[in-house]
Chains A and B, each alone.
Chain A
Amino acid sequence: MKRTADAVIVGAGIVGVTTALALTNAGFKVVIVDRGSVANGTTGSGEGNILVSDKEPGAELELAMRSRDGWFELALDVGDLDESGGFELEAKGGVVVSRSEDGLLHLLKLAQEQSKVGIDTRALSPSELLELEPNISKEIPGGVWYPQDAQCQPMLAAAKIMRVFRSRGGEFHRDTAVRKIRTQAIEGDLSVTGVETDQGDISTPLVVNATGTWAGDIAKMARSSLPIAPRRGFILVSVPAPHLIFHKVYDADYVANVASGAAELQSSAVVEGTRSGTILIGASRERVGFNSDLNVAILRQLAAQAIELFPILATVQLLRAYSGFRPFAPDHLPVIGEDATVKGLWHNVGHEGAGIGLSPASAQLIVEMITGQKTFMNPSAFSPGRFGNHE
């Protein structure tokens, strides 16, 4: 193990590897450490959403718009001439629908506001909707088409980015758990001097916390704090089926569920086909700690909601189901920036269910801040200091 580094990234999920690659490209000698392996946390449970459709105008949407383009740039960078990056990147487009006339009006209003800030949106009549999704329920009064929404296979993406990071001189230590972030008062500021791991110590003036749902534990090791909590989601995976669903299709209720902070179960249908033929069905949200036990009642609810959108799914078999833990911040916004009390400790965490989509722009933003360049957007909404002291 290297004894010194310009920067140590903790966490080899999608945020960790994109940040590491961006820092390496900026000339840093970077070491990634992870207590497991690539994509072992929330990244490995994700659907690979790269969405602009599910956010209201504001800082997060600005980040999402940049990030969506960032993904296609990243694909060209790591993909060896393969436009999909070798990780199934695809601008498949999103179709947001509402089951009620009221909900549809609300959705159209949101789309109008989104289009004002540059999102490509197109209102869909029932017949246009059927043209895009021939198997969708005929009961649905309409929806909105978001051609910019995209998807990738997040585990493959993380692994391919890791590979390129290493080929450019980056170092990765798997099965390496951080025990402590070393700090020291330098010119009156508490500053990072290194990390202690169960495999040895690394001296570094810069640590990026990219541990997602577990970010609070790392912050605590530097005697700081971050209020990140797990928000569990289940995904149903069907057996490989013939091509039935052509875009990412979801119920407009999803946007409201994402924005809600409630602890109790919320779910709304999110349905999409994948390249391997399986159909993925989400999305539930609940705050139950790190409990991964299968909950049949939630599976039933997700299945019923998906069938409401696509009646044909009633005959498709469920093959698997699994849960993942989204890193949830109280105001649903990611945490990107330097720690409020510890200099040299940077956080790039708290992306909740949007971590795959938001990672390239989050990496760009944090590297621009670290290197003191002009940032592509105002990062203040993502400031780690916004929560105050939670100790």
Chain B
Amino acid sequence: MSEKVITCTLNGVILTAISGQSIAAAMISSGERINRTTRIDGSFRGIFCGIGACFDCLVVVDGVSNQRACITEVRNGMTIQTQRGAGP
């Protein structure tokens, strides 16, 4: 198995990544730091603990909200959206 390029979309825009990378890593390397807006005051959040403990990097994956970007691997054709509040 060699490195494969994965193509998915982030908020409708093409996002490429390397197979095995997390959504959070793919977003950071594309320059996107904002994963979601918060429920109460609508402020921005990005990756924080990076290992699935803090639940701050939540995104909407294929329509399902509350997915931790830091521990979810990118897959071909995946639709990723920044999450607004409780989602989607």
A residues at B contact (CB < 8 Å): 239-242, 277, 315, 317
Interface 9-mer from B6-14, B25-33, B80-88 = B80-88
Q: Which residues of chain B are near A315, meaning CB under 8 Å? A: 64
- Chain B: interface size category: under 10
Q: A240-B86, A242-B85 are in contact. Are A277 and B39 (CB under 8 A)?
A: yes
- Whether A317 lies near B86 (C-beta < 8 A) is no
Q: How far is the CA of A317 from the CA of B66 in the complex (A)?
A: 9
Given A240-B85, A242-B86, A317-B66, 6 additional A-B pairs, CB 8 A: A239-B66, A240-B86, A242-B85, A277-B39, A277-B86, A315-B64
- Whether B86 lies near A241 (C-beta < 8 A) is yes
Interface of A is mostly: loop
Cross-chain pairs A/B with CB under 8 angstroms, 15 sampled: A239-B66, A239-B86, A240-B39, A240-B85, A240-B86, A241-B86, A241-B87, A242-B85, A242-B86, A242-B87, A242-B88, A277-B39, A277-B86, A315-B64, A317-B66
Q: How far is the CA of A342 from the CA of B43 in the complex (A)?
A: 60
Q: How far is the CA of A293 from the CA of B39 in the complex (A)?
A: 32
Q: Count the A-B residue pairs with Cβ separation under 8 angstroms: how many?
A: 15
Q: Which of B64, B86, B87, B88 has the most CB of A within 10 A?
A: B86
Least Cβ–Cβ distance between B23 and chain A, in angstroms: 17
Q: Which residues of chain A are near B87, meaning CB under 8 Å? A: 241-242
Q: How far is the CA of A241 from the CA of B88 in the complex (A)?
A: 9
Q: How far is the CA of A243 from the CA of B29 in the complex (A)?
A: 34
| B 66-88 binary contact with A (CB < 8 Å = 1; else 0) | 10000000000000000001111
Q: Which residues of chain A are near B39, meaning CB under 8 Å? A: 240, 277
Q: Which residues of chain A are near B64, meaning CB under 8 Å? A: 315
Q: How far is the CA of A156 from the CA of B85 in the complex (A)?
A: 24
Least Cβ–Cβ distance between B42 and chain A, in angstroms: 14
Least Cβ–Cβ distance between B66 and chain A, in angstroms: 6
Among B21-77, those with CB < 8 Å from A are 39, 64, 66
Q: Which residues of chain A are near B88, meaning CB under 8 Å? A: 242
Q: Which residues of chain A are near B85, meaning CB under 8 Å? A: 240, 242
Listed from nearest, the 6 A-B pairs whose CB atoms lie closest are A240-B86, A242-B86, A277-B86, A241-B86, A239-B66, A240-B39
Q: Which residues of chain A are near B86, meaning CB under 8 Å? A: 239-242, 277
Least Cβ–Cβ distance between B85 and chain A, in angstroms: 7
Q: How far is the CA of A277 from the CA of B39 in the complex (A)?
A: 9
Least Cβ–Cβ distance between A237 and chain B, in angstroms: 14
Q: Which residues of chain B are near A240, meaning CB under 8 Å? A: 39, 85-86
Q: How far is the CA of A242 from the CA of B87 in the complex (A)?
A: 6
Q: How far is the CA of A241 from the CA of B39 in the complex (A)?
A: 10
Q: How far is the CA of A137 from the CA of B34 in the complex (A)?
A: 36
Least Cβ–Cβ distance between B33 and chain A, in angstroms: 23
Query: Nearest residue in B to A241 (C-beta to C-beta)?
Result: B86
Query: Nearest residue in A to B64 (C-beta to C-beta)?
Result: A315
Q: How far is the CA of A242 from the CA of B66 in the complex (A)?
A: 12
Least Cβ–Cβ distance between A319 and chain B, in angstroms: 10
Query: Nearest residue in B to A315 (C-beta to C-beta)?
Result: B64
Q: Which residues of chain B are near A241, meaning CB under 8 Å? A: 86-87
Q: How far is the CA of A387 from the CA of B51 in the complex (A)?
A: 58
Least Cβ–Cβ distance between A274 and chain B, in angstroms: 12
Query: Nearest residue in B to A240 (C-beta to C-beta)?
Result: B86
Query: Nearest residue in B to A278 (C-beta to C-beta)?
Result: B86
Q: Which residues of chain B are near A239, meaning CB under 8 Å? A: 66, 86
Least Cβ–Cβ distance between A15 and chain B, in angstroms: 32
